[in-house]
Amino acid sequence: MNRSLAGISILFLVLMSVAMSQAASTPITVDCSKGQSLNQTLAKLNKQTAYTVSVNGTCTEWVQVVGFQNLVLKGLPGATLVQPSTGGGNLFNSTLLIEASQSVQVEGFAIQGGAGALPNIGIGHGSTDIRLRSLDISGGSAGIFIFENSQVSVAYVHVQDTGYSTLAIYDSSDVHVEHCLFENTATDGWHQGISLGASHVTMYATTIRNMQQAIGVGADSSVDLTVYNTYYVATGNTDVVIDSSAGLTFAGVTLTGGSLNIYGAKLVINKSGQSWGGTTAGVNLDQGATMLANNGLLSITGSLGQGIVAMNNSHATLFNATISHGTHAGLVAINNSTIDLSTNNTPPSTISGNAVDLFCDSDSKITGTANIAGSPTAQCTNLLSGETVPLP
């Protein structure tokens, strides 16, 4: 046999092996309404074998998926996982805990947390290709908690009225979010839609509603807004919407270090900030944070506080952005920070109708003001019509 035919044969065998392994998922049904236990069933399975476990009824138990490969947990209509009131153990446990696992999909469940200190879903210890699909999550200390270098896709998930954070991403983890709704209906406490620490999230087609802080970003973290089709065909409205119609939001996006990159999906922020102003805002950049908003993909309207605040060595670059009708300032640059309205062959930005459109202190600059539509009001002595001072 010549080498080319041998190569084709080997490739064919590899592809056949993959196809057979994918097709060989063993079906199992767990009926919690008849007293069966999902966790006890999982404990008896070979973790290296592909299973599709269908679940019926309400399972009130701590479910642990540790070391599994190619597992599907499928909730039948009405299937619910309920956090028990006792026996949770340490803070790293969850109603559904996934650790050190690969290629696990969880779909179709309602998941209800208790008043205790444990999240609804925890994913950690280097888990990869974890897919959360069509889930309805409520209560608990957190909605979804992802940690220790894990990779997760979250799609068509509704999370409501959890504790501090709806989706928390830490420890060099990477998450894709699409077609989700994260919302808060309570008026007490402090609620954060998405929390990031030394991690990365890519997102589109998602609404975050009435959180005190919709997205909170720490140092060494980044948020990328772009449309992707890795899991689903991208159709319909692809905007990321931060809705604070209840007036609860102190900041739409807060970055303490880190970066916000808006380059494929539009970010729409409505009525963020608080009436006293200060540094409450649609977007607050602090401690060297950066933001890039690509052509026409940022709209901040009706802010109760500021539109964008760049402070403490932070920087924002805006291409054809809209920041309008805020009750305080549109753009604020303070403490050695800069905001640039790019003149790079893009349509002008609309910075108008705010109490003050442009504000800066003596240590900061707003550049590219020639690329602002109309005549913005200003309280800033460091305005440059271009993006730099005249160069030789």
Asked if pLDDT for residue 1 goes beyond 90, the answer is no
> Chain-wide mean pLDDT for the chain?
93
Buried b (16+ CB within 10 A) or exposed e, 95-117: bbbbbbbebbbbbbbbbbbbeee
Note the pLDDT tens digit of each residue in 168-181: 999 999 999 999 99
Angstrom distance (rounded) from CA 139 to CA 120: 8
Cα dihedral sign, 109-94-156-151: negative
189 falls in which pLDDT band (50, 70, 90)?
A: confident
Note the pLDDT tens digit of each residue in 260-310: 999 999 999 999 999 999 999 999 999 999 999 999 999 999 999 999 999
- Looking at residue 23, its pLDDT comes to 52
Note the pLDDT tens digit of each residue in 346-381: 899 999 999 999 999 999 999 999 999 999 999 999
Asked if pLDDT for residue 329 goes beyond 80, the answer is yes
Q: Is 5 exposed, middle or buried (0-12, 13-18, 19+ CB in 10 A)?
A: exposed
Tell me if 73 sits within 8 A of 41, measured CB to CB: no
Of 157, 269, 163, whose CA–CA distance to 215 is shortest? Answer: 269
Domain regions of the chain by residue span: 229-392
- Looking at residue 388, its pLDDT comes to 87
Across residues 155-172, what is the average pLDDT?
Answer: 96
What pairs with residue 107 in β-bridges? 74, 133
- Looking at residue 21, its pLDDT comes to 42
- Looking at residue 283, its pLDDT comes to 98
CA dihedral of 323, 325, 327, 329, whole degrees rounded to 10? 30
* DSSP string for residues in 236-287: S---EEEE-TTS--SEEEEEESSEEEESSS-EEEES-S-TT-TT-EEEEEES
- Looking at residue 12, its pLDDT comes to 37
Predicted TM-score (pTM) of this structure: 0.93
Neighbouring CB atoms inside 10 A of 23's CB total 8
